[in-house]
Amino acid sequence: MMSHIKRHTGVSLSVALLTLGVTIGCDSSSVVSVARLNVHLLDDTMTSSPRRLPSSGRMMVTPYDVNARKLRPTAEFALSSGVGELPELPIGRWRFMVSGEGGGFKFFGGTGEFEITDNEARELHAVVGQEQCTGLIPTMPVPSGHPYASEASPDIPQASVGSAIAELPNGQVLILGGGGINSTGTLTSVHNRISVYDPEHGLIFPTGVSLTVPRAYHQATQLDDGRILVTGGYISVQEGVPQPTASAELIELDADGALQVSTSNLLQVEVARAHHASVKLADGTVLITGGLGANGAPLKDVTRFYTIDSIFRAQGPMSQARAYHAMATIDRSSEPAIIIGGMTESGPTDSIEMFTTRSDNTMCIRPSTQVGCFIGGGSLEAPRWGHVAIKSTVQSNTVLIAGGYSAGTQPQPTALASSLEIFYTKRTTNTQGAEVELPDVKTIGTLSVPRAHLSGARLHDDTLLLVGGEDLAGNSLSEVTTIQLRSDGVNISPSPNSRCPLSEARSEPRVISTRDGGAIIMGGRLKGSMQAESGRVELFYPSPPNLMNILTVE
């Protein structure tokens, strides 16, 4: 089967066209289905102008069978001649992974999931990005027949702050809730909208469903079964004061692929909270810690969600009440998570606590597999809140800690934390001669642009991505930094690099790694002499991946 690439010069879109046919019977002209793939390169964030694919070089297209979870052979195309071969694809559910290079320019990306069915013509779209660069989604054709075609947009239709994002099992990314602010940054309204980024079309669409209650500064955590748990957040603003909620809800796709939102009396966290932290533990439960309570003060309260019966169970409290803190999992069955820093009632803290379920631990009250509690986990070298903690695989139980404010109050911070710190565990021998693993924290470098209220994610090749934030004067930043951690077996060293900046400076963006190896960056807060909400959507792609790193292959 032959496929052809056509280049359109002098237009804002670089397009690759691949014609795929599947034949049946003895008549080779009997085509079961035909698909055309359009490859769109992200626009330049500095100028909002289009980038173009190289005029020479190669592009590789690898089909991925979603149902069988298998890669098909990669087809290679010469960018100059536009000729190549692609194997036949049977009826089923697929994705295309796309990468290429030419003249020192490297790019990669892919399509969303799509269905090849009998006797159907499909128009497919792959979004690809320049290596180590942020890009704006270009103007994409709106799919005909889509129920929300008239409302499709490359950006979030209604900008907001404090939204949450989460990936569905089909690769679509939900944008959940959020709020509006006035020019001074005060929260004035909260909404319950659910929008979705659809990588099959490269556009944001409404979903036709809403959260059961409005929420801002809530948490969304994907469960092992694909459902999304949404907890807490501000539900309204009364006389200028945001009101947190104790409610939670579950979002899932039903058997027909429709979005479902559900709640019940069981889905109550007991304590109302916002600006809390949430993480899925190795056993599939979800740990929810701290936050700001109904009186606006930090909380010690901790709860845990069990998927087996969809019930929250109270856990032992943290030793310190905290909000705006960070949390990460660690690969130990007895201490499965760490809580790092945060803002307390008396200011930013440098303390780290470990959540333990080890029943023989005498440092807290009666821990068990069902009800855990907290023990000391060391101290940061600098207090911080509004920071990020990103798990790395450079060594066992390694977590990078970056950014945040280190002094002052929540409304008036006075210093930024510039150091890059590492949490890790080290093996040692106790007084009884037994080998134990103890936590440790140390500084390994500095952040070239210190900032708080940044966001981060770990990408396919263990690249740690830091996005946006704000400086000490409260101005939003467009900074994008990647960090590669390296280990000589004892010491860990970082290699931070500034990358293509965001198209607009913003703090509190929402960032999530995507299944094509990149990351999507959504929304945030525009801060300067006046404040506003951001609805901007951008993508970041690191170095082109080994597909084995980002796809489950049998």
Are 267 and 248 within 8 A, CB to CB? yes
Domain membership of residue 549 (yes or no) is no
**Contacts of residue 411, Cβ cutoff 8 Å, sequence gap at least 6:** none
Strands (E), 310-412: 311-314, 326-329, 337-340, 343-344, 347-348, 351-356, 373-379, 388-392, 398-402, 405-408
- CATH number of the domain encompassing residue 97: 2.60.40
Q: Which helix (H) or strand (E) holds 301?
A: none
Strands 120-130 and 114-116, sheet pairing: unpaired
Structure-token pair, residue 212: 């059961």
Query: CB-based contacts of 4: which residues, under 8 Å, 6+ apart?
Result: 17, 18, 19, 82, 83
**Among 418, 436, 416, which residue's Cα sits nearest to residue 375?**
436
Mark whether 115 and 220 lie in a shared domain.
Answer: no
Same domain, 212 and 290: yes
Distance CA 111, CA 61 (A): 10
Whether the Cβ atoms of residue 372 and residue 316 lie closer than 8 Å to each other: yes
Instruction: Tell me the sheet residues that pair with 234.
Output: 216, 244
354 in any annotated domain: yes
Same structural domain for residues 320 and 367?
yes
Domain extent, residue 384, equals 149-542
Strands 405-408 and 228-231: unpaired
40 and 163 both lie in a single domain: no
Instruction: Report helix, strand or coil for 149.
Output: helix
Q: What is the pLDDT of residue 2?
A: 30
- Would residue 550 count as lying in a domain? no
Using the structure block, give the residue that is written with the tokens 């080994």: 546
**82, 100, 131 — which closes off a domain?**
131
Instruction: Judge whether 76 and 86 are in contact, CB under 8 Å.
Output: no
| Residues 111 and 164 occupy one common structural domain | no
Pairing outcome for strands 187-198 and 105-110:
unpaired
> How many whole angstroms separate alpha carbon 315 and alpha carbon 369?
11
Q: Are 380 and 498 part of one and the same domain?
A: yes
Is pTM beyond 0.85? Reply is: yes
Question: Would residue 143 count as lying in a domain?
Answer: no
Domains: count for the chain = 2
Q: How far is CA 26 from CA 2, 29, 408, in A?
A: 19, 9, 78
Q: Are 313 and 306 in contact (CB under 8 A)?
A: yes
- Whether 158 is in a domain gets the answer yes
Q: Please name which of 418, 539, 554 lies closest in space to residue 130, comparing C-alpha atoms.
A: 539
- Residue 483 in domain: yes
Residues 171 and 71 in one domain: no
Polymer length in residues for the chain: 554
Cβ neighbour number for residue 410 with a 10 Å cutoff: 17
Q: What is the pLDDT of residue 545?
A: 81
Burial class (CB in 10 A: 0-12, 13-18, 19+), 231: buried
pLDDT 10s digit of each residue in the chain, 554 long? 233 333 222 222 234 444 444 443 344 445 556 677 888 899 988 887 888 888 899 999 999 999 888 888 888 888 887 666 666 777 888 899 999 999 999 999 999 998 887 777 778 888 999 999 999 988 888 888 889 999 999 999 889 999 999 999 889 999 999 999 999 999 999 999 999 999 988 899 999 999 999 999 999 999 999 999 999 999 999 999 999 999 999 999 988 888 999 887 667 778 999 999 999 999 999 999 999 999 999 999 999 999 988 899 999 999 999 999 999 998 876 789 999 999 999 999 999 999 988 776 666 766 777 889 898 888 999 899 999 999 999 988 899 999 999 999 988 999 999 999 999 887 776 666 666 667 889 999 999 999 999 999 999 888 999 999 999 999 999 999 999 999 988 889 999 999 999 999 999 999 999 988 999 999 999 999 999 999 999 999 998 888 777 775 43
Which residue type, as a one-letter code, is found at position 106? K
User: Residue 460 is part of a domain; what is its CATH number?
Assistant: 2.120.10.80
Place of tokens 């901007």: 536
Among 97, 131, 165, give the residue marking a domain's end.
Answer: 131
C-alpha 336/C-alpha 373 separation (Å) is 11
